[in-house]
């Protein structure tokens, strides 16, 4: 199949109502929970289509100052992503692997229910940024990105801004999910329980979820992180250098896991 034909097929499939099925991927990533002042994060909430407030009684509140709230960074590489509702031949032909960064704010309250907001996404695939807008209504931007899991480095370049993250493993190898010494990873499991908000075009606000099969396919290990932000590439997050020591409730972890991204559904 020629590149032109394959590209046309990708674009055609992007217009199929993806809410008829789910997307299956193998996720390789570094996940980080990092506290920031609520006054900084309020800018993201104010720009949302929904009225959102901070859940100050969230499980991580006791590890932060009273005026802080966690941000959940995902430095992702999504591997072999397939649309589950497609016939196998088409699913295999349109399988995609791409780099993706997500800035997320968990533990927000919408109509007395806990939700997650995804106010900023970068991807290195124009097709995927288009599909992310079309299907979920999320603010995805195309950027120059690099994810090097051998040298533990990750970068994003967008317009005049730059993100550079480096990681130092705290164990020699990835560990099976639930291994001794990995109890602090439970913070990430809890942060992913609530659905995230989607804003599909020509529709009202809906929800969706990422379902991670950690019990059967998950491998994890704690890492130290150094994050350098230059310019306003992360919008309301100020430029500067941030650190995370890794094996703690507000920590940093390397993960590998099978992931299912649901179609949109009515929020609880």
State residue 80's pLDDT score: 83
Residue 127 lies in a domain: yes
State residue 7's pLDDT score: 46
Cα 11 to chain centroid, rounded: 23
Q: Which residue has the higher pLDDT, 20 or 133?
A: 133
Residue 15 lies in a domain: no
Give the pairing of strands 140-142 and 113-123: parallel
Alpha carbon distance 219, 28 (integer Å): 10
96 falls in which pLDDT band (50, 70, 90)? confident
Q: Helix (H) and strand (E) counts for the chain?
A: 6, 16
Residue 13 lies in a domain: no
Check which CATH number belongs to the domain holding 28 and give it.
2.40.400.10
What value does the mean pLDDT take over residues 34-63? 97
Residue 167 lies in a domain: yes
Tokens matching residue 48:
């949302």
Alpha carbon distance 4, 84 (integer Å): 24
State residue 22's pLDDT score: 87
Examine the pLDDT at 128 and tell me if it is beyond 80.
Answer: yes
| Least confidently predicted of 72-86, 160-174, 189-203 | 72-86
State residue 32's pLDDT score: 98
State residue 11's pLDDT score: 47
Mean pLDDT of the chain: 91
Residue 107 lies in a domain: yes
Alpha carbon distance 67, 94 (integer Å): 45
Examine the pLDDT at 19 and tell me if it is beyond 60.
Answer: no
Examine the pLDDT at 37 and tell me if it is beyond 70.
Answer: yes
Residue 12 lies in a domain: no
85 neighbors 21 (Cβ within 8 angstroms):
yes
How many Cα neighbours within 13 Å face the side chain of 257?
25
Q: Give the Cα-Cα-Cα angle 54, 57, 62 (nearest 5 degrees).
A: 115
State residue 2's pLDDT score: 41
Cα 242 to chain centroid, rounded: 19
91 falls in which pLDDT band (50, 70, 90)? low
143 neighbors 122 (Cβ within 8 angstroms):
yes
Question: What is the extent of the structural domain holding 55?
Answer: 3-7+20-261
Which of 39, 29, 14 is CA-nearest to residue 73? 29
Which of 168, 218, 166 is CA-nearest to residue 189? 218
Give DSSP secondary structure letters for 201-220: TTS--EEE-EEE-HHHH-EE
What value does the mean pLDDT take over residues 241-250? 97
Work out the percent of the chain whose per-residue pLDDT is above 90: 83
State residue 88's pLDDT score: 65
Number of domain units in the chain: 1
Examine the pLDDT at 8 and tell me if it is beyond 60.
Answer: no
Residue 141 lies in a domain: yes
């Amino acid at each position: 199949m020629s590149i032109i034909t394959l590209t046309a097929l990708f674009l055609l499939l992007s217009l199929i109502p993806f809410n008829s099925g789910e997307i299956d991927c193998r996720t390789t990533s570094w996940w980080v929970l990092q506290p920031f002042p609520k006054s900084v994060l309020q800018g993201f909430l104010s720009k949302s289509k929904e009225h959102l407030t901070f859940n100050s009684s969230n499980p991580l509140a006791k590890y932060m100052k009273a005026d802080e709230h966690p941000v959940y960074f995902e430095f992702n590489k999504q591997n072999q992503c397939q649309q589950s509702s497609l016939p196998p031949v088409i699913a295999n032909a349109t399988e995609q692997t791409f780099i993706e960064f997500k800035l997320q704010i968990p533990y927000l309250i919408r109509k007395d229910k806990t939700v997650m907001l995804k106010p900023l996404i970068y991807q290195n695939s124009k097709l995927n940024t288009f599909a992310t807008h079309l299907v979920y209504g999320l603010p995805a931007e195309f950027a120059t990105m690099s994810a090097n899991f051998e040298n533990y480095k990750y970068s994003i370049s967008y317009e005049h801004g730059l993100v550079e993250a480096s990681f130092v493993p705290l164990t020699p190898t990835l560990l099976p999910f639930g291994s001794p010494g990995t109890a602090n990873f439970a913070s990430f499991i809890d942060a992913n329980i609530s659905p995230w908000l989607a804003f599909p075009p020509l529709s009202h606000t809906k929800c969706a979820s990422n379902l991670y099969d950690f019990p059967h396919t998950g491998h994890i290990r704690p890492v130290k992180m150094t994050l350098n932000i230059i310019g306003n590439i992360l919008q309301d997050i100020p430029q500067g250098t941030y650190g995370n020591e890794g094996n703690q409730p507000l920590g940093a972890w390397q993960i590998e896991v099978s992931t299912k991204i649901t179609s949109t559904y009515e929020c609880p």
